[in-house]
């Protein structure tokens, strides 16, 4: 499946993620039929697309791309029936997902892929609700916000057909995403688990009194986060290994010290006291800053970074 074989995408659930996906699909010249049961969902979606559209223009629009290609349906079935591909963004509740996928399965032809943006649920647990065609259910998990961040994690459940995964990978690549194919199911997939590991230690460092919220944010934003935006953990480690690369690190004193740190990493549960301390630290860090302007600048720098990365042919 390439983007050429897809003309209309159904976006099921139009909250933060669904609205961002909608802008992304529209910018690639696709038609979108959206549905969400929340009161005022259509107006909120159109406002979100309008807010995202300047960034889409900066990234480059496909010929004919327009917010006018958005339609809002009266039901999930109506939206899905008109689509060549379905991107679902419902709540992270297995009972609701199963009920929704049973409806989507009944409303769509067997060739239509049902892709979920789920952050934590396993597709094997979801696709059992599809009595007709469970083989076309896949994970298509973006990184927030999908209209800007290229990553999409693609994975099937136990019943997913290999050819469907190939088609999903081709579709996401065709709209300019960076899809990665995961090899087995695990809760949280890859990116969220890596992010969760960092958050756990960040909260532990606050709890242990090692550093405050602002210092921990600065440690990442002005340190490894700059390199992580360009290369992943293994390539960054490889470049830290000197002439011998990553293979020369293992077993050496510096690496042994790293493994000792692993054994000392904190296990933490965010109770009211720790949560309050972190929230207060974030408020202090934001003091004197215009949050809306900070977000605008963040997105502007991100767009420029994406442009530079696209021009840097040796970076992966």
Domains and CATH numbers, the chain: 3-181 (3.40.50.720), 192-311 (1.10.1040.10)
pLDDT at 292: 93
Is it the case that residue 2 has pLDDT exceeding 60?
A: no
How large is the average pLDDT for residues 65-89? 97
**For the chain, what percent of residues have pLDDT higher than 90?**
95
How many whole angstroms separate alpha carbon 104 and alpha carbon 9? 13
How many whole angstroms separate alpha carbon 122 and alpha carbon 74? 28
**For the chain, what percent of residues have pLDDT higher than 70?**
99
What H or E segment, with its residue span, contains residue 60? Answer: none
Is it the case that residue 196 has pLDDT exceeding 80?
A: yes
Cis geometry, peptide bond prior to residue 213 (ω within 30 degrees of 0): no
CA angle 41, 42, 43 (to 5 degrees): 95
Query: The whole model's pTM is what?
Result: 0.94
Is it the case that residue 134 has pLDDT exceeding 70?
A: yes
Q: Token digits for 276?
A: 């309050």
What H or E segment, with its residue span, contains residue 115? Answer: strand 113-116
How large is the average pLDDT for residues 12-18? 98
> Residues 214-254: pLDDT tens digits?
999 999 999 999 999 999 999 999 998 888 999 999 989 99
């Amino acid at each position: 499946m390439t983007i050429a074989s897809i003309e209309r995408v159904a976006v099921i659930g139009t909250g933060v993620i669904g609205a961002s996906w909608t802008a992304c699909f529209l910018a690639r010249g696709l038609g979108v039929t959206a549905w969400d049961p929340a009161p005022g969902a259509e107006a909120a979606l159109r406002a979100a697309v309008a807010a995202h559209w300047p960034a889409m223009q900066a990234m480059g629009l496909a010929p004919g791309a327009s917010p006018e290609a958005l339609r809002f349906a009266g039901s999930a079935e109506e939206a899905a029936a008109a689509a060549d591909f379905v991107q679902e963004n419902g709540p992270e509740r297995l009972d609701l997902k199963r009920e929704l996928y049973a409806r989507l399965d009944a409303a769509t032809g067997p060739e239509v892929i049902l892709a979920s943006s789920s952050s934590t649920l396993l597709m094997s647990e979801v696709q059992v609700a599809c009595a007709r065609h469970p083989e076309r259910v896949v994970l298509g998990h973006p990184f927030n916000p999908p209209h800007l961040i290229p990553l999409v994690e693609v994975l099937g459940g136990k019943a997913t057909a290999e050819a469907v995964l190939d088609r999903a990978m081709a579709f996401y690549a065709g709209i300019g995403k960076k899809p990665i194919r995961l090899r087995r199911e695990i809760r949280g997939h890859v990116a969220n688990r890596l992010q969760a590991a960092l958050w756990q230690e960040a909260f532990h460092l606050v709890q242990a009194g090692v550093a405050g919220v602002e210092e921990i944010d600065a440690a990442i934003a002005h340190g490894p986060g700059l390199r992580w935006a360009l290369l992943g953990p293994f390539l960054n480690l490889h470049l830290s290994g000197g002439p011998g690369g990553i293979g020369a690190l293992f077993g050496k004193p510096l690496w042994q010290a790293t493994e000792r740190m692993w054994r000392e990493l904190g296990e933490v549960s965010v109770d009211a006291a720790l949560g309050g301390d972190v929230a207060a630290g974030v408020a202090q860090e934001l003091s004197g800053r215009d949050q809306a302007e900070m977000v605008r600048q963040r997105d502007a720098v991100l767009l420029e970074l994406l442009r530079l990365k696209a021009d840097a042919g040796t970076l992966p």
